[in-house]
Chain A
Amino acid sequence: AQSVTQLDSQVPVFEEAPVELRCNYSSSVSVYLFWYVQYPNQGLQLLLKYLSGSTLVKGINGFEAEFNKSQTSFHLRKPSVHISDTAEYFCAVSAPSGGYNKLIFGAGTRLAVHP
């Protein structure tokens, strides 16, 4: 069965510092991978997606992620964070289940950017 592990529940970082949010997945088949961001009391917003092609994926708000098939990872990075990046970040994998594909979400990583 497919699963997603976000290795850090919380990541504190200072403004303008780089950040990496880690995500590992397990799957016996080819997968599609996604990162979402959730601001307080809001729904989830798609940051970026990997469906095929280049393993380095660029998303909104200056974020990027790299798909590494051998390490089954899809880590999210940003070279310089802002206070406004403080939010919860979710990694997700598309997985077949019962004849349909569904998204399996990680437990989330809370990014706290400090001045």
Chain B
Amino acid sequence: SQTIHQWPATLVQPVGSPLSLECTVEGTSNPNLYWYRQAAGRGLQLLFYSVGIGQISSEVPQNLSASRPQDRQFILSSKKLLLSDSGFYLCAWSIAGDQPQHFGDGTRLSIL
């Protein structure tokens, strides 16, 4: 069966520090991969999605970037974190764009 792993579960970082969040999927090939941010008490905002290795689409201009170095690995990065980058970050995968997405357990990022 397919599983998705996301780490770390929680992270506290100072303003201006770099960021790297990792997500890996097991049990499937060539999945669509997604990064979302959920601000406190808010819905989900799609940040990036990828339909293949090296193919990244950005949904909103921001201080973050994404990379897909391997088929089932999706990384969210930042060179310098801002206070506004705080939130709950979720990675997800699907077999196709119109199919259900399956989510990881999320990373709660706090910026001090």
Contacts and interface: CB of A to CB of B under 8 A. Distances in A.
Please determine whether chains A and B interact with each other in the same assembly.
yes
A74 interface: no
| Contact-residue bracket for chain A | 20 to 34
A100 B94 CA distance: 13
Contacts of B83: none
Given A98-B57, A102-B49, A105-B43, A32 B98 contact: yes
B105 A90 contact: no
A56 interface: no
A41 B57 contact: no
B54 to A, nearest CB: 16
B44 A105 contact: yes
A32 B97 CA distance: 11
Contact of B43 (A42, A45, A46, A108): A108
Given A100-B49, A106-B43, A42 B105 contact: yes
B43 A102 contact: no
B100 A34 contact: yes
Which secondary structure characterizes the binding site on chain A?
Answer: strand
A70 interface: no
| Contact-residue bracket for chain B | 20 to 34
A14 B97 CA distance: 38
B101 interface: yes
A103 interface: yes
Contacts of B6: 43
A101 B46 contact: no
A107 B49 contact: no
B43 A49 contact: no
A101 B44 CA distance: 16
Interface string B94-109: 0011111111111010
10 contacts: A41-B106, A42-B105, A43-B92, A43-B106, A44-B90, A94-B98, A101-B97, A102-B46, A103-B46, A107-B43
Interface of A: 32, 34, 36, 41-46, 49, 90, 94, 98, 100-103, 105-108
